[in-house]
Structure 1
């Protein structure tokens, strides 16, 4: 698994390594004995047991077999998959864009409190069809081999039903640059801004815009989503990061609160959005 600097990923990797090391100890084996039983160089056992290297599923099968605990293989492989799921490079999500869009739907359906910050584009739940098409077409040109943009757009738009179903609350923050920058043309952007105004009028939806100005107390950060108090997702250039460690979720929640204090809301946000619409003609 590619290394990530996230403490959530590192902690999960360490937990798995600790379980494997304890398994070896309980079996009365040292590193050299385990390596011999598995047909490995001793350094591989050392790297795995200290979380410097993430084992493969086959490595776990061999480790459990050498320790006489084949009954634990399935559980430990499940733990491995959980670690791998925290950090996913874009190319590992598949050749197209539809599947990643559909895969996120269960998370959206179970979440009741959404917080999203974006420095560069409107969050997916706020996007119009045309804006979504421009965004995903740009992604497809950079990352995807298969052209399934139409299906991916449909999946993202379908996911927007969570905005109007159930008892949910939404708080969105965008940088002012998001109002002015777009991959599409002026008509698409004007439609998007008009749609933003209509969503901002919903009682359970908060839209904040962080004005471009000097003397900011906090510079823009990477875009992120917070799902209830349980999970944060961050989209980076190289991949998709899932954070569940409470301390990291709290850090993003604190950052969101700081950015929200810098934003304009309500009438001031609507006025700023309207002023940008006027510049689009």
Structure 2
């Protein structure tokens, strides 16, 4: 999107005479503020993170397995209760597996396939399920030493990328995050995920240092965000004010094209979706994960 759209969205849109702050939208009553507890932070993070302790990529992969198992059951005309009876477990377990709430064991999958006269598909399903569950184990292994090392691990990845195309419906993209905003976000994620070593502030400093790439020659950045991102408060008022100011500065850079989709947009043909990244000559990523599978990077 052209840079002009950034200026119209952030700078020249008519505003009532009031001091803009991240917690008050001009012309509207500011939201009520309350003290923030650990439970509140988890609820806030839960707005853009899955409520399961596993990664969004793992859940999506588990869902694919669940849909395949459900299709097997429906193909042979079995009800949830009938399949459970054949497999020797409660029907509630069948529902949990089909809704990707519970991961099936290899034994469960083989019993399911046998009940549906699809033994030939059992081993493929077992492998697919194991791959899905390994994603979370790998992610936990990555973050056990904290989140700073995840930021550092992406430095070369960013330097090797010539053209960045980024869309975000929920938060400011990492490359445009100010330090206070990033610290609040990463600390919330660490708290929500139960990461034993919460180094959100240090990780935020590393993220900001890594983001200096937007000032370096040889790279272009095309970014599109929803207007709601500007009003989704992740840090305190000072952090949010600094973040909005940083967006104005970064959006004016010649190599950065930042567009904002107004909340008032009508008759949208496409609705907000999961954040995705695409880079030239490499695989697109959804939620930090290559679309064709591979290593999960919750560091973007």
Q: TM-score range by the shorter chain?
A: 0.5 to 0.7
Give the structure 1 partner of residue 158 of structure 2.
Answer: 108
Specify whether residues 164 and 94 from structure 1 end up closer, same or farther in structure 2 by C-alpha distance, changes over 3 A only: same
* Secondary structure of the structure 2 residue equivalent to 1:53: helix
Q: Which runs of 5+ in 1 are unaligned?
A: 11-40, 56-79, 246-281
2:199 pairs with 1:148: yes
Distance in 2, matches of 1:140 and 1:3, equals: 18
Shift of 1:190: 1.7
> How many equivalent residue pairs?
183
TM-score, with length taken from structure 2: 0.52
Q: 1:244 Cα shift?
A: 4.3
What secondary structure does 1:189 align onto? Answer: helix
Partner Cα separation in structure 2 for residue 244 and residue 159 of structure 1:
26
Q: 1:167 aligns with which of 212, 218, 225?
A: 218
**Comparing both chains, which one has the higher relative contact order based on Cα–Cα distances under 8 Å and sequence gaps of 6 or more?**
2
Match of residue 91 from structure 1: 140
TM-score by length of 1: 0.56
Unaligned runs of 5+ in 2: 1-56, 66-106, 111-118, 294-300
Any conservation in 1 of the 2:187–2:201 contact (CA below 8 Å)? no
User: 2-side partners of 1:105 and 1:241: how far apart?
Assistant: 16
State the shift of 1:142 in Å.
Answer: 0.6
Matched, 1:133 2:206: no
Q: Superposition RMSD on alpha carbons, in Å?
A: 3.5
1:216 is aligned to 2:268: yes
User: Do residues 199 (structure 1) and 250 (structure 2) align?
Assistant: yes
Native 8 Å contact 1:131 1:189 kept in 2? yes
Query: In the TM superposition, what whole-angstrom CA distance separates every residue of 1:51-110 from its partner, at most 9, and x where no partner exists?
Result: 32339xxxxxxxxxxxxxxxxxxxxxxxx9xx78x9456434222212222222221111
Q: Does 2:279 match 1:227?
A: yes
Cα distance in 1 for residues equivalent to 2:161 and 2:147? 22
- SS of 1:216 mapped into structure 2: coil
Larger % of helix: which? 1
- Contact 2:58/2:136 (8 A) holds in 1: no
1:53 aligns with 2:126: yes
Say which of 285, 289, 294 aligns to 1:241. 289
Q: Within 2, Cα distance between the matches of 1:3 and 1:203?
A: 38
Q: Distance in 1 between matches of 2:136 and 2:156?
A: 18
TM-superposed deviation, 1:231: 2.0
Cα shift at 1:229: 4.2
Q: 1:102 to 1:219 in 2, by over 3 A?
A: same
